[in-house]
Chains A and B, each alone.
Chain A
Amino acid sequence: MGAEQAWLLAAIPGGMFFVIAMIGRWLPRQADWLGILTIATTFALFFVVLVDFLGTGDGLGPITNSMSWTEIGGFQLDMGIFVDPITIVMLGVITAVALMVNIFSVGYMKGEPRYFWYFALLQGFAASMILLVMADNLLLVYVAWELVGVCSFLLIGFYWERRSAIEAAKKAFITTRVGDVGLLIGIILLWREAGTFNISEIIAFAQDGGYGSTYLFVASFAVFLGAIGKSAQVPFHVWLPDAMEGPTPVSALIHAATMVVAGVYLVARLLPVFEIPEGMMLIITIVGLVTALMTGVIAIAQTDIKKVLAYSTVGQLGFMFIALGAGYPDVAMLHLMTHAFFKALLFLGSGSVILATHHNQEMDKLGGMWRKMPITGTTFLIGSLALAGLPPLAGFWSKDEIWVVTEGAWGAWATILFGVAAVLTAFYTTRLFIRTFMGNPQDEHVYEHTHETGPVMWAPLVFLGVLAVVSGFVIFNEVGTALGFPGGFTEFIFLDEPHVYSIHWDFAAASLAAAVIGIFVGAWMYWGGRLDRATAFANWQPGLFDVARNKFYWDDLYQAGVDRGLLGFSYVVSWFDRYAVNDTGVDGSAQTTGYAGFILKHIQTGKVPNYAMGIAIGVIVLTIAGMAARG
Chain B
Amino acid sequence: MTFDEGQGYVLLSTLAVPLVAALVLLLLPGGFKGGIRWVSLITGAILLGTSTYIFVAYQADGDIFQMELRWAWIENVSFLGENGVSLYLGVDGISSLMALLTGIVAFAGTLVSWKVDYRPKDFFILYWVLIAGVYGTFFSLDLFFFFFFYELAVVPLYLLIGVWGSTRKEYGAMKLTMMLVGGSVLMWIGIFAVVAEADLGTFSLPELWQAGEDGVLGENFQKIFFPFFVVGCGVLAALWPFHTWSPDGHMSAPTAVSMVHAGVLMKLGSFGIIRLGIQMMPEGAEFWMPALMVLGTIGAVYGAVGALTQRDFKLVSGYSSVSHMGYVLMGLATLSAIGLTGASLQMFSHGVMTALVFLLIGALYDQAHTRDLKDFGGIAKVMPLWVIAYVIAGLANVGLPGLSGFTAEFHIFVGTFQTYPVFGGLGILAAALAAGYMLRMFSIVFFGPLNPRWQELRDVNPMEAIAGLLLVGSIVVMGVWWSLFTDRLAETVLNLPGVS
By a beta-carbon cutoff of 8 Å, the part of chain A in contact with chain B is 68-73, 75, 77, 139, 142-144, 146-147, 150, 157, 160-163, 166-167, 170, 173-174, 177-178, 180-181, 184-185, 188-189, 191-192, 566-567, 569-571, 573-574, 577, 581-582, 585-587, 590
Cβ-defined partner of A192 (8 Å) among B411, B418, B435: B418
Residues of A within 8 A of B425 (CB): 181, 185
**Chain B: interface residue count, which band?**
35 or more
Q: How far is the CB of A495 from chain B (nearest CB, A)?
A: 30
B470 interface contact, C-beta 8 A: no
Cβ-defined partner of B489 (8 Å) among A72, A157, A184, A590: A72
B381 interface contact, C-beta 8 A: yes
Residues of B within 8 A of A189 (CB): 417, 421
Q: How far is the CB of B479 from chain A (nearest CB, A)?
A: 10
Cβ-defined partner of A173 (8 Å) among B245, B338, B439, B482: B439
Q: How far is the CB of A17 from chain B (nearest CB, A)?
A: 12
A570 near B306 with CB under 8 A, answer yes
B220 interface contact, C-beta 8 A: no
Q: How far is the CB of B109 from chain A (nearest CB, A)?
A: 27
B408 interface contact, C-beta 8 A: no
B448 near A160 with CB under 8 A, answer yes
| Given A75-B337, A147-B402, CB of A180 within 8 Å of CB of B308 | no
B414 near A170 with CB under 8 A, answer no
Return 19 A-B CB contacts under 8 Å, by A number: A70-B482, A72-B341, A75-B337, A150-B395, A161-B378, A161-B448, A161-B449, A162-B448, A166-B443, A167-B443, A170-B439, A170-B440, A177-B435, A181-B429, A184-B428, A570-B306, A570-B308, A574-B309, A577-B302
Cβ-defined partner of B244 (8 Å) among A144, A178, A577: A577
B308 near A566 with CB under 8 A, answer yes
B483 near A161 with CB under 8 A, answer no
B450 interface contact, C-beta 8 A: yes
Q: Which residue of A lies closest to B440 (CB)?
A: A170
The proximity string for B residues 232-264 relative to A, scoring 1 for CB distances below 8 Å and 0 otherwise, is 000000000100110010000000000000000
B435 near A174 with CB under 8 A, answer yes
A146 to B432, CA, bound (A): 12
Q: How far is the CB of B122 from chain A (nearest CB, A)?
A: 27
Residues of A within 8 A of B16 (CB): none
A150 to B302, CA, bound (A): 26
B310 interface contact, C-beta 8 A: yes
B244 near A582 with CB under 8 A, answer yes
Q: How far is the CB of A540 from chain B (nearest CB, A)?
A: 41
| Given A143-B401, A161-B378, A181-B428, CB of A192 within 8 Å of CB of B421 | yes
A226 to B192, CA, bound (A): 52
B305 near A161 with CB under 8 A, answer no
B431 interface contact, C-beta 8 A: yes
B145 interface contact, C-beta 8 A: no
A269 to B179, CA, bound (A): 53
Which residue of A139, A160, A184, A574 has the most chain B CB atoms within 10 A of its CB atom?
A184
A72 near B306 with CB under 8 A, answer no
Residues of A within 8 A of B410 (CB): 139
A73 near B494 with CB under 8 A, answer yes
A569 near B305 with CB under 8 A, answer yes
Q: Which residue of A lies closest to B439 (CB)?
A: A170
B432 near A178 with CB under 8 A, answer yes
B493 interface contact, C-beta 8 A: yes
B337 near A72 with CB under 8 A, answer yes
B376 interface contact, C-beta 8 A: no
Q: Which residue of B lies closest to A153 (CB)?
A: B439
Residues of A within 8 A of B175 (CB): 586-587, 590
Interface of B is mostly: helix
B447 near A157 with CB under 8 A, answer yes
B178 interface contact, C-beta 8 A: yes
A73 to B494, CA, bound (A): 7
B204 interface contact, C-beta 8 A: no
Residues of A within 8 A of B337 (CB): 72-73, 75
Which residue of A72, A173, A180, A569 has the most chain B CB atoms within 10 A of its CB atom?
A72
Cβ-defined partner of A166 (8 Å) among B179, B307, B448: B448
A587 to B178, CA, bound (A): 11
Q: Which residue of B lies closest to A574 (CB)?
A: B306
Residues of A within 8 A of B341 (CB): 72
A359 to B496, CA, bound (A): 64
In addition to A72-B338, A72-B494, A157-B447, 19 A-B residue pairs with Cβ atoms within 8 Å of each other are A69-B482, A69-B483, A73-B337, A77-B482, A146-B401, A160-B378, A160-B447, A166-B443, A174-B432, A174-B435, A174-B436, A185-B425, A188-B424, A191-B417, A192-B421, A573-B302, A585-B244, A587-B175, A590-B178
Residues of A within 8 A of B244 (CB): 577, 581-582, 585-586
A188 near B413 with CB under 8 A, answer yes
| Given A570-B308, A577-B306, A581-B241, CB of A75 within 8 Å of CB of B338 | yes
Going nearest first, the 5 A-B pairs with the smallest beta carbon separation are A143-B401, A570-B308, A160-B447, A166-B447, A582-B244
Give chain B interface residues in 437-487, CB to chain A under 8 Å.
439-440, 442-443, 446-450, 482-483, 486-487
Q: Which residue of A lies closest to B178 (CB)?
A: A590
B490 interface contact, C-beta 8 A: yes
A571 to B443, CA, bound (A): 20
A69 to B486, CA, bound (A): 10
A582 to B487, CA, bound (A): 41
B155 interface contact, C-beta 8 A: no
A192 to B175, CA, bound (A): 43
Q: Which residue of B lies closest to A170 (CB)?
A: B439
Residues of B within 8 A of A577 (CB): 244, 302, 306
B400 interface contact, C-beta 8 A: yes
Residues of B within 8 A of A162 (CB): 448-449
B380 interface contact, C-beta 8 A: yes
Residues of A within 8 A of B248 (CB): 582
A143 to B482, CA, bound (A): 13
A96 to B448, CA, bound (A): 34
Which residue of A142, A181, A569 has the most chain B CB atoms within 10 A of its CB atom?
A181
Q: Which residue of B lies closest to A164 (CB)?
A: B448
Residues of A within 8 A of B482 (CB): 69-70, 77
B417 near A170 with CB under 8 A, answer no
B302 near A72 with CB under 8 A, answer no
| Given A150-B400, A181-B428, CB of A191 within 8 Å of CB of B450 | no
Residues of A within 8 A of B241 (CB): 581, 585
A435 to B489, CA, bound (A): 65
B428 near A146 with CB under 8 A, answer no
Cβ-defined partner of A586 (8 Å) among B179, B401, B493: B179
A71 near B486 with CB under 8 A, answer yes
Q: How far is the CB of B393 from chain A (nearest CB, A)?
A: 14
A181 to B440, CA, bound (A): 19
Cβ-defined partner of B432 (8 Å) among A70, A75, A160, A181: A181
Q: How far is the CB of A137 from chain B (nearest CB, A)?
A: 13
A549 to B253, CA, bound (A): 52
A184 near B381 with CB under 8 A, answer no
